Chain A
């Protein structure tokens, strides 16, 4: 009997694959946050100033804030469809720890909404005249930082998934909580320009990611149990 049941790892894989498959079939959900990122980032040169000198000062902040807003916008897809069609109940009733199921969903979600933003960021950075030596810093810091946005956002979405008007509440909960990552990410870019060592910043962001990876899915799982009631 025991070996007829799946291991937690294969349930994890099944969930990851399923979510990636859904994203593949609903390409809009993948493309929209990405386009949103491009649009927000390109509003700054229009709104602030098109001069390269000025832009290069704010480039890192603009990219980070755009990435944060894009992550926030993408968050809503994470549990809503599953909540509405009942799949979330099946997830909660699986014999495996909900922590890993939530983690699988978060990873899938970041792969389709966070990673594209990270990958395209050097191009946008170029358009915003980011100083030459900062591209790898920006790329690496976004690579470490955007998963934290997804993990933190997941808590907020899990808490508000049953609500009709959740968009603003989600923003009010998630945005202040994301500030530490924003600070670390933008400081990394600015300080390395002034000659600080990159490693220290990456270590801090890596620590934030590990911290979020271990605690945030726990909180999301608890929040889902509360919301599915």
Chain B
């Protein structure tokens, strides 16, 4: 009975609910991003050392923090999908991998651009960038595993399992890369805000950018989940009714 409920009930329920929430979420995101971008890129006082480049900080930090959330997210969704065989959870596991790869790529790119001014080169084997790069590779591996397994049930289980294994592994990778980094270069590392004044004129726009980017993440996730639901349920009646409207 429960499997039946999950199988037929959940995706449609999610589709309806998310459809009602989406306009509000998009409106909030638009406000946050517009205010945040204008404030942080035009009005925040320039850093006396780094100058204008420092402002990419306001994009990089929220994006990087989101991209760290993808593996835990997939592990939780994967566990739910393995244990309760919930189809919606598998949809999340599936769409989170490419989305995570994009966010990770964005974090890597913005980090590199920031690095041009800070380090004088766009790539340095810094601990954070290296573990993001490894995360990117693992996500690409997950995407290709998913696309190679044609049978959707087996693909769902295999990717759920890999997302759990991958999350445990990512934790070990993060700490070992940190350790590697510390031992390879003396700890005169560039930290994020060693010379910055920490007043409200710095952190309020940052909070707004965080909100905006998080909302952007939630909305992209919801949109891709909705897309995938429509694709999977294309034979269901409610989808054809929807298409007929």
Q: Show the binding face of A for B, using Cβ within 8 Å.
A: 155, 159-160, 162-163, 165-166, 168-169, 172-173, 175-177, 179-180, 183-184, 187, 191, 208, 215, 219, 222-223, 226-227, 229
Task: Write the chain A residue with the least CB distance to B136.
Answer: A176
Known: A163-B148, A169-B145. A187 touches B161 (CB 8 A): no
Q: Are B154 and A176 in contact (CB under 8 A)?
A: no
Q: Are B180 and A183 in contact (CB under 8 A)?
A: yes
Known: A176-B134, A191-B183, A226-B158. A155 touches B165 (CB 8 A): yes
Q: Are A226 and B161 in contact (CB under 8 A)?
A: yes
- Residues in A with CB closer than 8 Å to B138 are 172-173, 176-177
For residue B187, give the distance in angstroms from its CB to the closest CB of chain A.
Answer: 15
With A and B bound together, what is the CA distance between A162 and B158 in angstroms?
Answer: 11
B171-179, B191-199, B223-231 - the one binding chain A? B171-179
Question: What is the count of residue pairs linking A and B with beta-carbon distances less than 8 angstroms?
Answer: 76
Residue in A169, A183, A229 whose beta carbon sits within 8 Å of that of B141 in the complex = A169
Task: Tally chain B residues at the interface, Cβ within 8 Å.
Answer: 31
- Residues in B with CB closer than 8 Å to A159 are 145, 158, 161-162
- Residues in A with CB closer than 8 Å to B172 are 180, 208
Q: Are B179 and A172 in contact (CB under 8 A)?
A: no
Q: Are B151 and A177 in contact (CB under 8 A)?
A: no
Residue in B142, B153, B169, B179 whose beta carbon sits within 8 Å of that of A183 in the complex = B179
- Residues in A with CB closer than 8 Å to B135 are 176
Q: Show the binding face of B for A, using Cβ within 8 Å.
A: 134-135, 137-138, 140-142, 144-145, 148-149, 151, 153-154, 157-158, 161-162, 164-166, 168-169, 172-173, 175-177, 179-180, 183
With A and B bound together, what is the CA distance between A183 and B135 in angstroms?
Answer: 16
- Residues in B with CB closer than 8 Å to A179 are 134, 173, 176-177
Residue in A163, A175, A177, A219 whose beta carbon sits within 8 Å of that of B149 in the complex = A163
Q: Are B179 and A223 in contact (CB under 8 A)?
A: no
With A and B bound together, what is the CA distance between A219 and B157 in angstroms?
Answer: 12
Cβ contacts A to B, 29 pairs, < 8 Å = A155-B165, A159-B158, A162-B149, A163-B148, A166-B148, A169-B144, A169-B148, A172-B137, A172-B140, A173-B141, A173-B145, A176-B135, A176-B138, A176-B141, A176-B173, A177-B165, A177-B166, A177-B169, A179-B173, A180-B176, A183-B176, A183-B179, A187-B183, A191-B183, A208-B172, A226-B158, A226-B161, A229-B153, A229-B154
With A and B bound together, what is the CA distance between A146 and B183 in angstroms?
Answer: 23
With A and B bound together, what is the CA distance between A184 and B173 in angstroms?
Answer: 11
- Residues in B with CB closer than 8 Å to A223 are 158, 161
For residue B57, give the distance in angstroms from its CB to the closest CB of chain A.
Answer: 27
For residue B174, give the distance in angstroms from its CB to the closest CB of chain A.
Answer: 9
With A and B bound together, what is the CA distance between A168 and B144 in angstroms?
Answer: 9
Task: Write the chain A residue with the least CB distance to B137.
Answer: A176
- Residues in B with CB closer than 8 Å to A165 are 148
For residue A185, give the distance in angstroms from its CB to the closest CB of chain B.
Answer: 11
With A and B bound together, what is the CA distance between A193 and B183 in angstroms?
Answer: 13
With A and B bound together, what is the CA distance between A219 and B99 in angstroms?
Answer: 25
Task: Write the chain B residue with the least CB distance to A226.
Answer: B157
Q: Are A172 and B176 in contact (CB under 8 A)?
A: no
Q: Are B145 and A180 in contact (CB under 8 A)?
A: no
Known: A160-B145, A169-B145. A219 touches B161 (CB 8 A): yes
